[in-house]
Structure 1
Amino acid sequence: MADISPPAALIWCPFENAQDARQAARILLSEGLVACANIMPDMQSLYIWEGEQGEAQECGALFKTAPASLITAIARLEEIHPYDTPAIIGWNADETTPATRSWLANPLGSSAG
């Protein structure tokens, strides 16, 4: 029977600064919940919060994980995030390479190449 599960999952989350993003990434990596974190500093965010329009300099983080770890990684990220109500969005990716799929399924076992 063919594996029909999604090959990868992604989590997007903004942070106040790169230090907070790195700290969260290190925790998720050390706990085996994600295989990689890409941190993008100096992101401009425009938003509506509690009925008011706002703007802020933030830092974005994109986490790569296996679909089986997605829900647990999101829950853990919510626990460790310094914001009271962090915007955490996770989704399954429809396509990836076989090497990436293998790496995400077992990030501590080997590299993607």
Structure 2
Amino acid sequence: MAATLRCGALVSSTAIRRRSQLVGAFSSLSSSYIRTGCAQSLPFVPLLRSKFCTRTPDKTVRAVKMEANSNTVPSIVVYVTVPNREAGRKLAGSIVKEKLAACVNIVPGVESVYEWEGKINTDPEELLIIKTRQSLLPALTEHVKANHEYDVPEVIALPITGGSPQYLEWLKNSTRD
């Protein structure tokens, strides 16, 4: 089975085919779903579970707590907003090149509403979602400040408390110590 490592996940060709089959199934919502707003009321949910949830308990992917696995390190997700795609790609590329992060997702279409110098502003932006080691936050923050066009760039870190052991190990191995 062919598999591809993407920044967000390890994706197999089988999983992609399965997802594409689901598109048609979910496009025809029943009236019971519309009335209740609950996916459990859809008549085909048990069928989908039996057809597409073929993993046996021994093959289940298990999440891991960060401190429980010596192959991982305490990790974080960092949010940084940028004014446009070009600025986002440039900053994301320099962050990954410097091994300050394993992966940076660029999310387009963010609209930010904020107060600056006594005035309410609304601006289109893009959001960088950066996955890195907790220990790299000071260096990442300095890198963003030095390479960002905003006077006060957003740098907000959230802890990763667990996840796929393989992904978290890849994050560790893709960043500098």
Query: What range is the shorter-chain TM-score in?
Result: 0.7 to 0.9
Question: TM-score with structure 2 length normalisation?
Answer: 0.55
Map 1:1-113 to 2 at 5 A.
4=67, 7-107=74-174
In structure 2, what is the Cα distance between the partners aligned to 1:50 and 1:96? 40
In structure 1, what is the Cα distance between the partners aligned to 2:145 and 2:164? 29
Q: Name the SS of the counterpart of 2:162 in structure 1.
A: coil
Q: Which residue of 2 aligns with 1:111?
A: none
In structure 2, what is the Cα distance between the partners aligned to 1:77 and 1:35? 15
Q: How far 1:88 sits from its partner (Å)?
A: 1.3
Name which structure has the greater RCO, CA cutoff 8 Å, separation 6+. 1
Q: Name the SS of the counterpart of 2:163 in structure 1.
A: coil
Q: How far 1:42 sits from its partner (Å)?
A: 1.8
Q: Percent identity?
A: 27
Higher-Rg structure is: 2
In structure 1, what is the Cα distance between the partners aligned to 2:73 and 2:170? 14
User: Unaligned regions of 5+ residues in structure 2, if any?
Assistant: 1-65
In structure 1, what is the Cα distance between the partners aligned to 2:153 and 2:105? 17
Instruction: Give the ranges of 4+ consecutive aligned residues of structure 1 lying more than 4 Å apart after TM superposition.
Output: none
Are the equivalent residues in 2 in contact too, given 1:9–1:92 (CA < 8 A)?
Answer: yes
In structure 1, what is the Cα distance between the partners aligned to 2:162 and 2:117? 37
In structure 1, what is the Cα distance between the partners aligned to 2:162 and 2:74? 6
| Larger strand fraction of residues | 1
Q: How far 1:6 sits from its partner (Å)?
A: 6.1
Deviates more, 1:66-75 or 1:46-55: 66-75
Q: Structure 1 counterpart of 2:122, which letter? A: E
In structure 2, what is the Cα distance between the partners aligned to 1:72 and 1:92? 17
Are the equivalent residues in 2 in contact too, given 1:9–1:90 (CA < 8 A)?
Answer: yes
User: Unaligned regions of 5+ residues in structure 1, if any?
Assistant: 109-113
